[in-house]
Amino acid sequence: MMAAPRLEINLDKIYHNASTLVKRLACRGISVTGVTKATLGSAEIATTMLRAGVKALGDSRVENIEAMRFAQVPASMAMIRSPMLSQAKRVVMHADVSCNTEIEVIRKLSVEAQKADRTHGVILMVELGDLREGIMPDDLIDTVRETLSLPNIVVKGIGTNLACRSGVSPDSKNMAKLSDLADSLEATFGLTLEIVSGGNSANLEWALSGAAIGRVNDLRLGEAILLGCETLHRQPIDGLHTDAITLSAEVIEAKVKPSQPSGTIAQTAFGEAPAVTDRGLVTQAILAVGQQDIDPYGLIAPAGIDIMGASSDHLILESDRSELSVGAQVIFQLNYSALVRAMTSSFVTRIMTSASTDKDYLS
Ligand SMILES: *Cc1c(COP(=O)(O)O)cnc(C)c1O
């Protein structure tokens, strides 16, 4: 029997998702940076994205970028989270470009780039309303001025990130603002910005709506490629696979039990108030996977199976489906939160499948 818990990653479906998005966006003059952070910088997935036509790779962790370099993934790589000062040297050594919001960090990247005799590209991220990372638009000119003066640093472009902290939707207004900033920086400093990076998977609706694209010529896409959904409403994207990655977990107990606990009720393992409706006797199954490996609220169970909750190592299901006996494995789809946790858990095996290369391999 196959090892469990297990992520099954269908590289052909990821290829299809990535190449479909690359083609649709190419019609709008937009290239794709494939974001690998949810895969922990998997060389197989990164290579699949590159074959599908993504122009570069992006990751928020320098460790993942290092892993892809070590595996000799042939791509331009962008560090898409503002580098830690303490990791500036590693960022310069392994990433070609980084997204930045603090001049102090860019100064340090310059120092490390000089020491290593390398040139490091900088994309300056602009705050356009979502209130996560970004330079306030009024401060951009000053930041660009100093960045341009720093040795071994090249200003590659500007970018923004929306719909992450506050759910602010990319729209014609904030995207036009980004384009205007690109135009005015070029006019002020007489430079050419190679990259205007409009955002993440949440930008797809705007980018494919037919709205004027302006100067935006790149999107950084992770979730849309891996999970096949847009991220404003988490709807499937037409023509994409939403099951490229699945999680299988194994039943370790299957019993009929009362739906209502007995005894004095206090807190659960994770400090929640337990559900206490009496639904009579229920058929319950316990799977050997838990909060340490997945977000139980981010798993999508097969029809007829309900996820009741999870502690660190146990996932509780209810179902009348007789096949949930001890030893059976249940296959779930995952949302982004469940996916990143499963990828990060060392207890979860990863299996990559691909018909086109005809090899199934563990990683
Ligand atoms: C994670 C991330 C992305 C990719 O986001 P998705 O929603 O997975 O497409 C893009 N840009 C930045 C800065 C990120 O942190």
Are both 121 and 219 inside the same structural domain?
A: yes
Q: Give the pLDDT of residue 268.
A: 86
Cβ of 161 below 6 Å from ligand 1: yes
Taking only the tens place, the pLDDT of each residue in 258-304 is 999 999 888 888 888 776 789 999 999 999 999 999 999 999 999 99
Cβ of 220 below 6 Å from ligand 1: yes
Q: Is residue 254 part of a domain?
A: yes
Active site residue 37: yes
We report the CATH number of the domain holding residue 96 as 3.20.20.10
Are both 281 and 136 inside the same structural domain?
A: no
If you average pLDDT over residues 121-142, what whole number do you get? 98
Ligand 1 atom showing the smallest separation from residue 38 Cα: 8
Are both 275 and 321 inside the same structural domain?
A: yes
If you average pLDDT over residues 4-18, what whole number do you get? 98
Cβ of 228 below 6 Å from ligand 1: no
Q: Give the pLDDT of residue 360.
A: 54
Q: Residue 271: left if φ>0, alpha if ψ -120 to 50, beta else—which one? A: left
Say if residue 363's pLDDT is above 60: no
Q: Which of 250, 245, 211 is nearest to 228 (CA)?
A: 245
The mean pLDDT value of the chain amounts to 96
Range of the domain at 280: 245-356
End position of a domain, from candidates 227, 253, 288: 227
End position of a domain, from candidates 176, 192, 227: 227
Among 31-45, 136-150, 263-277, 287-301, which stretch is predicted with the lowest mean pLDDT?
263-277
Q: Give the pLDDT of residue 79.
A: 98
Pick from 31, 35, 205 the residue to mutate for probing ligand 1's pocket: most ligand atoms within 8 Å of its CB: 35
Q: Which of 36, 342, 167 is nearest to 351 (CA)?
A: 342
Secondary structure (3-state) at 100? strand
pTM of the model: 0.96
Nearest CA to ligand 1 atom 2: 200
Strands 6-10 and 245-258: antiparallel
Say if residue 361's pLDDT is above 60: no
Q: Is residue 363 part of a domain?
A: no
Are both 214 and 283 inside the same structural domain?
A: no
Q: What's the number of domains the chain is made of?
A: 2
Is pLDDT larger for residue 212 or for residue 273? 212
Q: Is residue 238 part of a domain?
A: no
User: Band of the pLDDT at 357, cuts 50, 70, 90?
Assistant: low
Say if residue 159's pLDDT is above 70: yes
Are both 16 and 48 inside the same structural domain?
A: yes
Q: Is residue 239 part of a domain?
A: no
Cβ of 231 below 6 Å from ligand 1: yes
Q: Is residue 152 part of a domain?
A: yes
Q: Give the pLDDT of residue 358.
A: 52
Q: Give the pLDDT of residue 209.
A: 96
Give me the phi and psi of 181, to 5 degrees please.
-65, -40
Are both 209 and 250 inside the same structural domain?
A: no
Of 37, 89, 108, 156, the active-site residue reads: 37
Pick from 36, 40, 60 the residue to mutate for probing ligand 1's pocket: most ligand atoms within 8 Å of its CB: 60
Are both 191 and 260 inside the same structural domain?
A: no
Q: Is residue 134 part of a domain?
A: yes
We report the CATH number of the domain holding residue 266 as 2.40.30
User: Band of the pLDDT at 359, cuts 50, 70, 90?
Assistant: low
